[in-house]
Amino acid sequence: MSAIVIDGKAVAEEVKADVAKKVEGLKSRGIVPCLAVILVGENPASVSYVTGKRKALAAAGMADKSVLLPETATEQQVLDLIHELNEDSSVHGILVQLPLPKHIDEKKVTNAISPEKDVDGFHPVNVGKLLSGEKGFLPCTPHGIAVLLKKAGVATDGANTVVIGRSNIVGKPMALLLLRREYNATVTVCHTGTKNLAEYTKKADILIVASGHPHTVTADMVKSGAAVIDVGVNRIPDSSKKSGFRLIGDVDYDSVKEVAGYITPVPGGVGPMTIAMLIYNTLEAAENISLAEGK
């Protein structure tokens, strides 16, 4: 029996529809939630991601103050722009699309964003809040995965959960989020230094794969009935496609779906949730800032 496919597109649409309703409520009080996305250069994947984010902003009725800078923009120009947006009271959220050109220090840029406007959840203040269980902006992809698990009815309480990958964007924050009391999972983090990966994955009730490599997880590595969340996005050549490539995840989908209880597809699984949670965070930022200003 095949796994239940968790439809990330459908859940993302639910989240975005709920956000759009709340945006209307804020607008009736004269507050228009606004996000500024900063894109440096024209990396095709980054341009595509930013286009998706801007479309979602428009659909939710939010304001868009995005800025596109040339590849030659200096680090100081980016920092000056962030400072300007930090000071702009009409902007509630700031996001810098990564990766940045090599001559710009990503950490310095991320740290320059005001924690109150850090809708990506990458500022050290928000990372610290995630670690200590305080309220703050949650990184969009891990938060989206947590929502998917909940919507699918996958129980996290006491679940043996394995996260493959230790990036600051997915792996580490995912583990921290699921360790929170509201999820209460038992979490193991595996990575490139893990020996005998299958020994860990075979015991997982929930398996979250963010390795960055196609077919990291195959059917023989998955416990029967497990929930498998595939975070990977890998482009592989495919002459039958107009683009010349197709997208696959980090999981061998066709074989794993015959063993797992739940699975996310690629595309259409985790990806749409990342953008939905960004819109959610922007709404939250607008609500927080308006409360602080007594509106």
235 is in an annotated binding site: no
**Per-residue confidence (pLDDT) for residue 119, from 0 to 100:** 98
pLDDT confidence bin for 69, thresholds 50/70/90 = very high
Based on the domain organization, do 159 and 48 belong to the same domain? no
What does the pLDDT average to over 51-76? 96
Based on the domain organization, do 91 and 148 belong to the same domain? no
Based on the domain organization, do 54 and 170 belong to the same domain? no
Based on the domain organization, do 38 and 156 belong to the same domain? no
Residue 293 burial by CB count (10 A; 0-12/13-18/19+): exposed, middle or buried? exposed
Question: Could you tell me if 111 and 95 are in contact, meaning their C-beta atoms sit under 8 angstroms apart?
Answer: no
Distance CA 170, CA 231 (A): 8
- Does 18 reside within a domain? no
Based on the domain organization, do 154 and 89 belong to the same domain? no
Q: Active-site residue 9, yes or no? A: no
- Does 25 reside within a domain? no
Based on the domain organization, do 167 and 74 belong to the same domain? no
Contacts of 54 (CB under 8 A, 6+ apart): 37, 64, 66
The closest of 30, 112, 22, 47 to 76, measured between CA atoms, is 112
Q: Active-site residue 64, yes or no? A: no
Based on the domain organization, do 227 and 175 belong to the same domain? yes
CATH number at residue 71: 3.40.50.10860
Give the tens place of pLDDT for each residue, 19-60.
999 999 999 999 999 999 999 999 888 888 899 999 999 999
User: Which of the following is catalytic: 16, 117, 118, 120?
Assistant: 120
Based on the domain organization, do 266 and 183 belong to the same domain? yes
Beta bridge partners of 221: none
Q: Active-site residue 105, yes or no? A: no
**Per-residue confidence (pLDDT) for residue 295, from 0 to 100:** 64
- Does 16 reside within a domain? no
Give the distance from CA 194 to its chain's centroid.
24
Give the tens place of pLDDT for each residue, 216-265.
999 999 999 999 999 999 888 888 888 888 889 999 999 999 999 999 99
What does the pLDDT average to over 90-116? 96
Question: Could you tell me if 135 and 129 are in contact, meaning their C-beta atoms sit under 8 angstroms apart?
Answer: yes
Question: Could you tell me if 230 and 253 are in contact, meaning their C-beta atoms sit under 8 angstroms apart?
Answer: yes
Return mean pLDDT, the chain.
95
Question: Could you tell me if 252 and 244 are in contact, meaning their C-beta atoms sit under 8 angstroms apart?
Answer: no
Contacts of 49 (CB under 8 A, 6+ apart): 97
User: Which of the following is catalytic: 16, 97, 118, 172?
Assistant: 97
- Does 2 reside within a domain? no
Task: State what percent of residues in the chain have pLDDT above 90.
Answer: 89
Give the tens place of pLDDT for each residue, 182-206.
999 999 999 999 999 999 999 999 9
- Does 103 reside within a domain? yes
Give the CA distances from residue 234 to residues 78, 124, 163, 220, 250, in Å, rounded to whole numbers and listed in that order.
Answer: 29, 29, 18, 21, 8
Based on the domain organization, do 165 and 242 belong to the same domain? yes
Based on the domain organization, do 101 and 149 belong to the same domain? no
- Does 237 reside within a domain? yes
- Does 161 reside within a domain? yes
What does the pLDDT average to over 94-118? 96
Query: What b/e string do you get for 172-186 counting C-beta neighbours within 10 Å, with b at 16 or more?
Result: bbbbbbbbeeebebb
What does the pLDDT average to over 58-79? 97
Sign of the CA dihedral 143, 149, 155, 160? negative
What does the pLDDT average to over 151-173? 97
Give the distance from CA 16 to its chain's centroid.
14
pLDDT at 1 over 80: no
CATH number at residue 172: 3.40.50.720
Residue 238 domain boundaries: 140-271
Q: Which of 78, 96, 114 is the last residue of a domain?
A: 114
165 is in an annotated binding site: yes
Query: What b/e string do you get for 8-43 counting C-beta neighbours within 10 Å, with b at 16 or more?
Result: beebbeebbeebbebbeebeeeebebbbbbbbbbeb
Based on the domain organization, do 89 and 151 belong to the same domain? no
- Does 289 reside within a domain? no
Task: State what percent of residues in the chain have pLDDT above 70.
Answer: 99
What does the pLDDT average to over 278-294? 90
Contacts of 97 (CB under 8 A, 6+ apart): 37, 38, 39, 40, 46, 49, 50
| HSE toward the beta carbon, residue 109, CA cutoff 13 A | 24
| Claim: this prediction has a pTM higher than 0.85 | yes
Based on the domain organization, do 77 and 178 belong to the same domain? no
Give the total number of structural domains in the chain: 2
